[in-house]
Structure 1
């Protein structure tokens, strides 16, 4: 089981919201209304760990190890929402999200293949780590800078935990399962490493998850300002091509190690994906998944 060791490692670096956030360093003159509103939106977005956890537990009922890890992931993700709300409570109480606004992002996600979902969230944690690091540079108020740097480190650790479950899938569950896992990881990895080619921000909270509610079936669509994410990324924190390249390279590097093949570009990954979909020495055209 991975859960016992993951619990200990994450517990050993867990931060305390009361003592590890420098609340006394707050400088009101360095927080604009524009910046404060983005904090509210991120607080609501982080609250969506609740329906994501419900999805994980439902779709992984046969995996008690991973389901137990969700207890840690859920706690820490909800803590991210809570620390952002606490910041607003202390310094901009007029912008605190209401319980109704928080509850609106709790809706059912359609069942999805667990391996694809695992890879999607691994990539999502990498992306969020970079988003928050970029946001910390954009903000000018020192306390919120510290908060974003702190939760960014959590997101990186969560990516590392997901990666351990991905390694388990590839190495510890038999060849048939390993082949399925490699195909799933390459398929989703190609999508998530190709964000510069898509018009939308590729993160689990910005993807469609309930066909009966389409098109209002993303977490972002449930926010008070549904279009805020792209504006935050493009016009405010300026998450540009240089930042996006860092995300892509982290995804590609980890897949290269995981799949034990050289992967330096999206094109390399696409070739690997196609090879995984085709039986060795197969004749005819290679099969390809739509991504």
Structure 2
């Protein structure tokens, strides 16, 4: 089991909201209303770890190890929402999310292949790590800069934990896992070709609720994410390239094969797909 070791590792570096956030360094002159609004949107977005956890537990009922790890992931992700809300409560109480606004992003996700979902969230952690690093640079108020830096490091650790479960999946499922991971990897590393940001909170997950079946579509300002990325934190092609490089680097380690470009990863995906198809008649 991976859960006991991951619990110990994450417990050892867990930050304390009262002791590790320098609340006394707040400088009101360096916080704008525009910046505070983005904090509210991120606080609500982080609250969507609640329906994501419900999805993970439902779709991984046969995997008690991974389901137990969700207790750690869920706790830390909800803490992200909480610390952002605490910041607003202290310094911009009029912008603190209401319970109704938080509950709006709790909706059921359609069942999906567990391995593909695992890879999707692994890539999501990488992307969020980079988004929060850039947000920390963009903000001017010292306390929120520290908060975003702290959250970015949590997201990196979560990505590392998901990677451990992906390695285990390849050991147990072989090409089935490789096919799932490369399929989603090609999608998530191709964000420069898409009109929207590729992150789990921006993907359609409930056909019956379409088009309001993404987390972002249920925010008070559904257009916020694109504006935040493009106009505010300026998550440009250089930063997107860093995300793609991390996805390709980790998949190279995972598959024991070098992928320098998305095209190389896609060729490998097709190779694995052919091997699976060739093996199917024999299995039957």
Q: Structure 1 unaligned segments of length 5 or more: list them.
A: 283-291
Residue by residue over 1:15-48, the C-alpha shift from the partner in whole angstroms, topping out at 9 and shown as x without a partner, is 0000000000000000000000000000000000
Q: Summarize deviations over 1:230-268 as a string: whole Å, max 9, x none.
A: 000000000000000000000000000100111111111
Q: Deviations over 1:118-149 (max 9, x none)?
A: 00000000000000000000000000000000
Match of residue 286 from structure 1: none
Checking the alignment, whether the CA contact within 8 Å between 2:202 and 2:214 is kept in structure 1 is yes
* C-alpha distance in 1 between matches for 2:3 and 2:178: 22
SS in 1 for 2:275: coil
Which of these residues, 156, 171, 187, is aligned with residue 191 of structure 1? Answer: 187
Q: CA deviation at 1:281?
A: 11
Distance 1:218 1:281, change over 3 A: closer
- Number of the residue aligned with 2:281: none
2:130 corresponds to: 130
Distance 1:170 1:280, change over 3 A: closer
Give the corresponding residue for 2:226.
Answer: 230
CA deviation digits over 1:162-203, x for unaligned, max 9?
Answer: 0000000012x1xxx211100000000000011000000000
Tell me the residue number matched to 1:140.
Answer: 140
Q: Which residues of structure 2 form unaligned runs of 5+? A: 279-284
Matches within 5 A, 1:240-251: 240-251=236-247
Distance in 2 (alpha carbons) for counterparts of 1:168 and 1:188: 17
Aligned to 2:249: 253
C-alpha RMSD of matched pairs (Å): 1.0
> Could you tell me how far apart the structure 2 residues matched to 1:280 and 1:117 are?
20
Structure 1 stretches of 4+ with a deviation exceeding 4 A read none
The match for 1:159 is 159
TM-score between the two structures when normalised by the length of structure 1: 0.95
Q: C-alpha separation between the residues in 1 aligned to 2:73 and 2:30? A: 32
Match of 2:212 among 207, 216, 241: 216
Whole-Å separation in 1 of the counterparts to 2:63 and 2:153? 27
CA–CA distance in structure 2, aligned partners of residues 57 and 169 of structure 1: 17
Residue 279 of structure 1 and its aligned partner are, at CA, apart by: 2.4
How many angstroms apart in 2 are the aligned matches of 1:191 and 1:280?
Answer: 20
1:276 aligns with 2:272: yes
Q: Output one character per residue of 1:94-131: Cα deviation in whole Å (capped at 9) or x when no partner.
A: 00000000000000000000000000000000000000
Give the Cα–Cα distance (whole angstroms) in 1 for the partners of residues 80 and 69 of structure 2: 17
Counterpart for residue 39 of structure 1 = 39
What SS does the corresponding residue of 1:125 show, helix, strand or coil? helix
TM-score normalised per structure 2: 0.97
| 1:259 to 1:24, Cα distance in 2 relative to 1, 3 A | same
In the TM superposition, what whole-angstrom CA distance separates every residue of 1:27-85 from its partner, at most 9, and x where no partner exists?
Answer: 00000000000000000000000000000000000000000000000000000000000
Q: 1:103 is matched with which residue?
A: 103
Larger mean CA deviation between 22-31 and 272-281 belongs to 272-281
